[in-house]
Structure 1
């Protein structure tokens, strides 16, 4: 594993993450916003967040657990466990996504609910199956997958123009993505049997799921919290205020995916590497913050002229929150690989508690600006907790027991 190979993989993964972001944020979402009301657009963002939280969490959990323990399965020639976990995860996903959709929409609409369930299943399976590319360090196929999903977003947008049903944007993209990885990987063909590692993997998956859910909750819950309290219009303004910084962060965070893939091959805690990566992360986030501040006004004028006057007020705070989130995500793979899984739950539980409590408290006092400040403070505390856990934990990696 040469430094050039690692940097090349990071570059490919950044491009892979950037393409669908650009397609969604620059082409699809602004186009949709021009054809529907502020309230409807706020609903779209809320449903989009729900999809990222529920199937996104379950699929990513299965993906990362398999990646982290792939060597152990290979060493013992074990094949199994994960299709059972996929089935369990799919059932949990259907229940959770159904309840979430009804709550967000304020009632039961059978056609919308069925579409969201289908989207969530395709998203979950896609996110899990992608792990084969990560295990094999095949970032060219990951890039190709992202291009195909982006094409799906465009096709979905065209269908939206004729049907005015924006659910098809997500349905087409996730369906095409699932079909691609289903044909390019062999994981769906695995035996549905338990191995001697099943009990440990089930426990580890459960702990990881809780931590990952709490982590995703703080990434997307802002829209879900604001929607029932302030309505769709405020969600639209808030989302617009975070648009550029989110794009920058989503383009940077694929680095942690590559980092975890390579860290999964290590057997010792890399102290010097951690601090080098942290310092580099601070530098990159610093640049990302000022780029966001400088460019946000112009970008908002082009993409969301209807929201720019309100959204621009929150740019400094929302951009700071986003880059702090990115910095935390850069540290996360090290903590995930070399610290006890219980720390994931403790850190993310404290984060959710502070995030929710502080942001809602300040929301009641200072409105949307108070909410933004509360989110920023919670991100600062999260970074401090991650640093303390990694610096003070024992110098040994997680092993199967």
Structure 2
């Protein structure tokens, strides 16, 4: 890796991820909370979690598989597969979002289902097509794309004030993003056919999708579990306590996509470099934790004053969970690149079992605060597991080598 370019690309990707996130967390979500109140806001946050869980894994999997296999397609002069997989993923997402949303809130209207389906599909297309910039390490393009999306979120937030439909915010942001991407990519113009590589691509895609789905279910399971246990107001209180921690973590997480983009260009990497990267992440995480705890009283008092007191009681725990989760995702690109993809399913499945068990056990002991501590326990377990799998593979090979297996 060229250190200077890697650092510049990481910085660009951090800024890229931060812009739309800050607009949503500091503008859009407070507007929704203020306009609709705690109970309705908690329900909406749960629906947003469903939309994210359904859409992000499908698009992100196609993005990562394209990144990992692009050279193979070029070497064998093959084309196709990805657009059929993209269309198929879109149909699957529509069915999932309608079924899960109906289970959560049966009072949703036909327009609600239509808008949820539209933003889910738009998110899948955006997540996949943005790989066009990652393939050539063009992180300036990703930054410009996210600037467009941020502007879309701002315009959507203004429209929300008149129609009070939160889906409009997401749809406008994703629409602006896709307009920019379509101007700079030809991936959607590839032949709609299956190539000789389809079977391997699809099978690896399914494995990675299952792993990513489990990962994303876990990322948003807190809201999905809390809603039936304690109701929408508790979801609002809990989510508000996690916002700053999520902002810090999501500003560090983009480094991981840069790491994977660079890792596909190399066949091995020294343990010393991995340790250095992880150590830097630990330092950044510690600084982020202290900053979040310090800022939280002012942030929550200003944006979510109605339930700020209750949220502040959880901030110390939820922020620690967010930072530890970041450290896990720093290790993940190395496991994804240099271990079999099937490892992702094993780790995600085991993490799911620990997550549900710990969260429910501590919820029975301490209610909302106990639940929050259980989520922290699961995050610590996941970090230990990611590090253990990486080190086991390293000790076996002595030098980390790319795994060709699925």
TM-score band by shorter chain is over 0.9
**8 Å CA contact retained: 1:355, 1:378:** yes
**8 Å CA contact retained: 1:67, 1:261:** yes
**Over aligned residue pairs, what C-alpha RMSD do you find?**
1.3
CA distance in structure 2 between the partners assigned to 1:400 and 1:265 by the alignment: 17
Q: Residue 143 of structure 1 aligns with which residue?
A: 143
**8 Å CA contact retained: 1:123, 1:178:** no
Other structure's SS at 1:37 match: helix
What's the CA shift string for 1:154-184, capped at 9, x where partnerless?
1111111111222211121112222221222
Q: Residue 11 of structure 2 aligns with which residue?
A: 11
**8 Å CA contact retained: 1:269, 1:397:** no
More displaced 10-residue stretch of structure 1: 352-361 or 14-23: 352-361
More displaced 10-residue stretch of structure 1: 14-23 or 283-292: 283-292
Could you list the structure 1 runs, at least 4 aligned residues long, displaced by more than 3 angstroms after superposition: none
Q: Please say if 1:350 is aligned against 2:350.
A: yes
Give the drift of 1:107: 4.1
CA distance in structure 2 between the partners assigned to 1:399 and 1:95 by the alignment: 33
Q: Residue 402 of structure 2 aligns with which residue?
A: 397
Q: Residue 227 of structure 1 aligns with which residue?
A: 227
Give the drift of 1:234: 0.6
What's the CA shift string for 1:31-63, capped at 9, x where partnerless?
221111211111221121112111111000000
How high is the TM-score relative to the length of structure 2? Answer: 0.96
CA distance in structure 1 between the partners assigned to 2:276 and 2:310 by the alignment: 39
CA distance in structure 1 between the partners assigned to 2:271 and 2:282 by the alignment: 17
What's the CA shift string for 1:128-150, capped at 9, x where partnerless?
00011001111111001111111
Give the drift of 1:195: 1.8
What's the CA shift string for 1:157-216, capped at 9, x where partnerless?
111111122221112111222222122211110011222211111110000001111111
CA distance in structure 2 between the partners assigned to 1:374 and 1:400 by the alignment: 35
**8 Å CA contact retained: 2:293, 2:315:** yes
Give the drift of 1:109: 2.1
Give the drift of 1:400: 5.9
What's the CA shift string for 1:332-365, capped at 9, x where partnerless?
1001000111110011111111111210222122
Q: Residue 375 of structure 2 aligns with which residue?
A: 375
Q: Residue 40 of structure 1 aligns with which residue?
A: 40
Q: Residue 324 of structure 1 aligns with which residue?
A: 324
> In the comparison of the two structures, how many residue pairs are matched?
401
Q: Residue 57 of structure 1 aligns with which residue?
A: 57
Give the drift of 1:25: 0.8
User: Any stretches of 5+ residues in structure 1 without a counterpart?
Assistant: none
Alignment of structure 1 residues 304-319 onto 2, 5 Å: 304-319=304-319
**8 Å CA contact retained: 1:25, 1:243:** yes
CA distance in structure 1 between the partners assigned to 2:342 and 2:2 by the alignment: 32
